[in-house]
Structure 1
């Protein structure tokens, strides 16, 4: 009878080596997958918290409030305005006598000239020195580029206009408005012949736009004037006004109306609700248990009491049970912990208590943190802080674990390779022995078969 030697030593050795490490490999794979899921979950958690904190800062940071006021001029072509929640509501009248303008001049008849001397240019108290001795020949465009490219130039811009006759004019424009910011161009050293000769090439400046201060009169055309270099006025607490066009003599004064802006307040409240719900949904997904019925996978922190406590703490903060609550302003929480906004209820509550929502939600501004916003931000920082926050410490622990698991995997791979090599050698030798036995058996069969015949 022939001996079966048709099995493959390689596949046999591979199967036995895999069986040798199977239990430990399964455990190690599960631990590695869990660590990877935790690392990914921590990144998701960190991003969700960071996004909420940014949104909260945008709504309740320095000079930010949920409640909003509007400031509207009767003629928005002459002036515009904005108001913070701190602005006192009411009606004001002004007359725009003049808007501030930036000085603009041109120098005509300039031709190419040899580099020599230096100029001092500027606007108001901001000036810089332009040394032209380092270049043998200058064109008007070279000069404009040098002015714009000077690192010490913070006050003027230069451009070139070519007239119909082909002559180039250098145009200088002040970056700031007002009489005090008039453009100057002079030799750096009047006693230096090269500087004086250079300045003389420019001749007298053509004034294209006069440097003027803005003049705003209180009440009427004959009211008290308020004069300043710029067109932005902050003469009413919490209100910023920007002048855009002077009124003609005899025109009706402008009326500025400062009032509560219910639509903007509602939008801010909705933004708060949306930002909170986005964070809450992210936390729900991270702690969600597996559902075999629907086939959904468990969240990265399904069994993590710390992350679950984080979610529950946020819910308890927004569901404050004091005398004033978000529900009183139309912001209510459902059974799932998500918030919703009733804009009609909000508008009615604000009409009765205009500052109530801001006092309740509060601020995250440094030095004046208060209310729900401060509680949320302060608690979330125990997780998001880059110094000693829980996310940072958890990431460090997971990273350390992943390193240890990688080392264990390397060790297990070596054990697999060793077992595979051992089994391969054994079954290769066994196959060789079986082949020899099969050959000898065939010889005996042939021998005895011949003797019988």
Structure 2
């Protein structure tokens, strides 16, 4: 009777045994590598969150005050206004006599020039402003200079820099060259010096005597108070900043005898609340990122712990931010409606905020302070100073932790190579052993078959 030996694949068996040989060490290695990778990602996320918060603190430093002011026109058809915190509440009357306008002139009957050469000088308020090189005006390469090419040459003149815009308007089949100043006021008046133009027909068409004024450049005339009896203000633009902290843009002139427009400057509670809410929101964003990283998790609910749940340093960061808020006095923040919820995040009571601002309008700015690099102050200054210990690209905590994590990952890479070598050595050893064993079994099966053939049956 033949002996049946178990069949197997030496390679598969060797691989399974080699994996089992390094399994415990590979498990530790994989766990450490996954944790190192997770730490790198978390540290970069933390860096981004801190940088974003610091950016919001510096943006706050460029704002004169969290207390916003508004400026409104009694007749919005006449213009609009904005106010900064530097504006003093009150009402101001203005009469809009004239609006500033930009000079616009036209030249009719300008035809294409057979010889594009010479130069054209564009003057503003009678003084040379820039020169147009007509020698290079031919852009299509067919010779001469079309009216369109001349307009393009004016717009592209190196010293124009947007001072004058040239365009072509065709009326009844006749092309007109229209020049428009990009600034307003009497100083914007446009004229041409054609003495350098070599083409006689073009020179004649652009002669100053042929100029038609479409719009005269004029200065704005505004009266503080009534027309004729108030204080007269003249300037080249329609944007006025004569009241500290207030910018007014007038868009329509008034008729003689009309009632002056009133500009009212007053506290803007909506904008002020938005400013304070932004401070609260930006802090809560950073807090949420840190809280998630140090969260201990809840095995009962299947909630995994945060990446830094066992990291004392990040927990110190978490508690330090809270203590900085309290250093300035929790009662002071609470007085302005900024309090802590049960989870530690900040919440804002706008009613309480505006009530306290009415009683102490400067107190909140002093309390929150500035994250200035020159003279930091208040909560914002202390926050930024502490966070720099983490975010500094020179010796910050995050930089040092990332470098240490990089070194650990290099070491883990070396260990992985060693484990791979151990696996390969074990695999080759097991493969050799089981290949030999398979050979012996095959030989035994062959011998068994031969014996069975010789003695397995009786012969007649």
With the length of structure 2 as denominator, give the TM-score of the two structures: 0.90
1:137 maps to 2:139: no
Residue in 2 aligned with 1:220?
Answer: 226
Distance in 2 (CA, whole Å) between partners of 1:205 and 1:346 is: 62
> SS of 2:381's equivalent?
helix
Distance in 1 (CA, whole Å) between partners of 2:291 and 2:132 is: 63
State the Cα deviation string for residues 88-146 of structure 1 (Å, max 9, x = none): 11222221222212222222222222321122336568933322213233222223333
1:202 maps to 2:206: yes
* Equivalent residue pairs, number: 448
1:273 maps to 2:280: yes
Distance in 2 (CA, whole Å) between partners of 1:313 and 1:122 is: 65
- Quickly say closer, same or farther: Cα 1:238–1:422, change in 2 above 3 A: same
Q: RMSD across aligned C-alpha pairs, in angstroms?
A: 2.5
Maintained 8 Å contact 1:112/1:139: yes
State the Cα deviation string for residues 35-64 of structure 1 (Å, max 9, x = none): 111111122212222332333333x23244
Residue in 2 aligned with 1:364?
Answer: 371
Aligned with 1:314 (options 318, 321, 325): 321
With the length of structure 1 as denominator, give the TM-score of the two structures: 0.91
- Moved >6 Å (runs of 4+): none
Distance in 1 (CA, whole Å) between partners of 2:100 and 2:16 is: 87
Distance in 1 (CA, whole Å) between partners of 2:252 and 2:112 is: 40
Distance in 2 (CA, whole Å) between partners of 1:122 and 1:35 is: 69
Maintained 8 Å contact 2:220/2:237: yes
- Quickly say closer, same or farther: Cα 1:182–1:300, change in 2 above 3 A: farther
Distance in 2 (CA, whole Å) between partners of 1:162 and 1:137 is: 20
Aligned with 2:438 (options 421, 425, 431): 431
Q: Aligned-pair distance for 1:3?
A: 4.6
Distance in 2 (CA, whole Å) between partners of 1:76 and 1:216 is: 16
State the Cα deviation string for residues 414-447 of structure 1 (Å, max 9, x = none): 4323432332233223212211121112212332
1:379 maps to 2:383: no
Q: Aligned-pair distance for 1:328?
A: 0.7
State the Cα deviation string for residues 174-220 of structure 1 (Å, max 9, x = none): 22222223334334xx4x56388755442333222211112221122
Residue in 1 aligned with 2:16?
Answer: 15
State the Cα deviation string for residues 239-292 of structure 1 (Å, max 9, x = none): 111121112111111222111111111121122212211211111001111210
Q: Aligned-pair distance for 1:366?
A: 4.9
Structure 1: where are the runs of 5+ without partners?
none
Residue in 2 aligned with 1:66?
Answer: 66
Superposition map of 1:285-324 within 5 A = 285-322=292-329
Distance in 2 (CA, whole Å) between partners of 1:405 and 1:102 is: 71
Residue in 1 aligned with 2:108?
Answer: 108
> SS of 2:299's equivalent?
coil
State the Cα deviation string for residues 222-250 of structure 1 (Å, max 9, x = none): 21212111222221221111121112111
State the Cα deviation string for residues 282-326 of structure 1 (Å, max 9, x = none): 110011112101111121211222222222121122233549611
